[in-house]
């Protein structure tokens, strides 16, 4: 795998990596992947997200697994389940946007043209009241709808696609659209089709995971399982990157802030205050931290610290 920059890579210094330092993600063994990977489960309707994570953990025989972005029991689709050390990165997936396909049921007949017209103003910043069923305190929250696409309408059922900020309640969106229409509406079905950079093309059914695990354990064939377990580094593809030299890794791993002499490349999209993911020259993730300066300053300055990992 190659490091994917949000902007363009800016070279600060030339450096090479030593063979005995670290290990490229694609060369990890299966046990290593199961301790530093992520599987994008196609969550079925019925179980909770926590149950699905527990099933994956027990199936793989690992100590720790955790999901990013809880889905209600009746909601299906993209559920990233991080494995082992990969669980440290689940919060970073919340930074990325989410995409859903929803069936909204209107409480009375409405013309399609009217539905299309009413949905348009919901793109942008919206105020949402947390649903009664939610596991958090009920209060108004500001969220952003990036895109809202009407797909089709059959009777009182409206199919639409929504791209939104993490933490947006599609159930509440349906209720609010119904209020604006004057007829009332509720969410009938919901499927998450994308979380950050992970979409439906990455999905793994639980049965397929079980079959791949059997193939590895019983037939010593790890190819099917390798196709399903993604290195944890991909969980931060949507975050600006900093690449460091081998000699800077140890200090960073022991909690030191990143000093400028250790930087080899920086993402042109990095701004002061942004989160940044720090990678080695072998494309391994080392740390996540807050940038103390813009990309251009990192390239031009000689001394000081550019990233706070505290």
* The pLDDT of residue 1: 67
Average pLDDT over residues 165-173: 94
CATH of the domain spanning 9-24+234-308: 2.30.130.10
> What are the tens digits of pLDDT across the range 246-303?
999 999 999 999 999 999 999 998 999 999 999 999 999 999 999 999 999 999 999 9
- Contact by Cβ (8 Å): 273, 237: no
Burial letters 210-238, b for 16+ CB under 10 A, else e: eebbeeeeeeeebebbbebbbbbbbbbbb
> Does residue 196 carry a pLDDT above 70?
yes
List 41's β-bridge partners, or say none: 79, 204
Q: Would you say the C-alpha torsion 84, 86, 92, 96 has a positive or negative sign?
A: negative
Burial (0-12, 13-18, 19+ Cβ within 10 Å), 197:
middle
Q: For residues 177 and 145, give the distance between their C-alpha atoms in angstroms, rounded to a whole number.
A: 13
> What are the tens digits of pLDDT across the range 20-56?
888 999 999 999 999 999 999 999 999 999 999 999 9
- Domains of the chain: which residue ranges? 9-24+234-308, 35-94+198-228, 98-195
> Does residue 134 carry a pLDDT above 60?
no
Task: Give me the active site residues, please.
Answer: 72
pLDDT tier at 137 (50, 70, 90 boundaries)?
A: low
Structurally, what CATH architecture does the domain formed by 98-195 represent? 2-Layer Sandwich (3.30)
Q: What topology is assigned to 35-94+198-228 in CATH?
A: Pseudouridine synthase (3.30.2350)
Q: Alpha helices, DSSP H only, in the chain?
A: 30-33, 49-60, 90-93, 112-119, 170-181, 206-219, 223-228, 249-253, 295-300
> What are the tens digits of pLDDT across the range 69-83?
999 999 999 999 999
């Amino acid at each position: 795998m190659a490091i994917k920059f949000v902007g363009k890579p800016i070279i600060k210094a030339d450096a090479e990596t030593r063979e005995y330092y670290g290990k490229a993600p694609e060369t990890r063994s299966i046990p290593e992947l199961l301790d530093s990977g992520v599987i994008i489960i196609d969550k079925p309707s019925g179980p909770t997200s926590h149950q699905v994570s527990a099933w994956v953990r027990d199936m793989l025989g690992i100590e720790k697994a955790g999901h990013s972005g809880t889905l209600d029991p009746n909601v299906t689709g993209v559920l990233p389940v991080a494995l082992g050390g990969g669980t440290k990165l689940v919060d970073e997936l919340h930074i990325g946007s989410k995409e859903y396909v929803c069936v909204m049921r209107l409480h009375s007949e409405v013309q399609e043209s009217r539905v299309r017209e009413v949905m348009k103003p919901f793109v942008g910043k919206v105020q949402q009241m947390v649903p009664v069923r939610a596991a958090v305190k009920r209060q108004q929250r500001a969220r952003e709808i990036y895109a809202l696409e009407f797909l089709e309408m059959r009777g009182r059922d409206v199919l639409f696609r929504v791209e939104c900020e993490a933490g947006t309640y599609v159930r509440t969106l349906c209720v609010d659209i119904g209020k604006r229409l004057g007829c009332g509406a509720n969410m009938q079905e919901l499927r998450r089709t994308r979380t950050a950079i992970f979409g439906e093309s990455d999905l793994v059914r639980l049965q397929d995971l079980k079959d791949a695990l059997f193939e590895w354990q019983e037939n010593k064939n790890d190819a099917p399982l390798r196709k399903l377990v993604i290195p944890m580094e991909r969980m931060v593809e949507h975050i600006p990157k900093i690449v460091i030299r081998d000699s800077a890794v140890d200090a960073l791993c022991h909690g030191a802030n990143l000093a400028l002499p250790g930087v080899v490349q920086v993402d042109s999209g990095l701004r002061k205050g942004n989160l940044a993911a720090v990678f080695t020259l072998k494309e391994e993730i080392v740390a996540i931290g807050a940038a103390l300066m813009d990309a251009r300053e990192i390239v031009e300055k000689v001394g000081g610290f550019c990233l706070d990992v505290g």
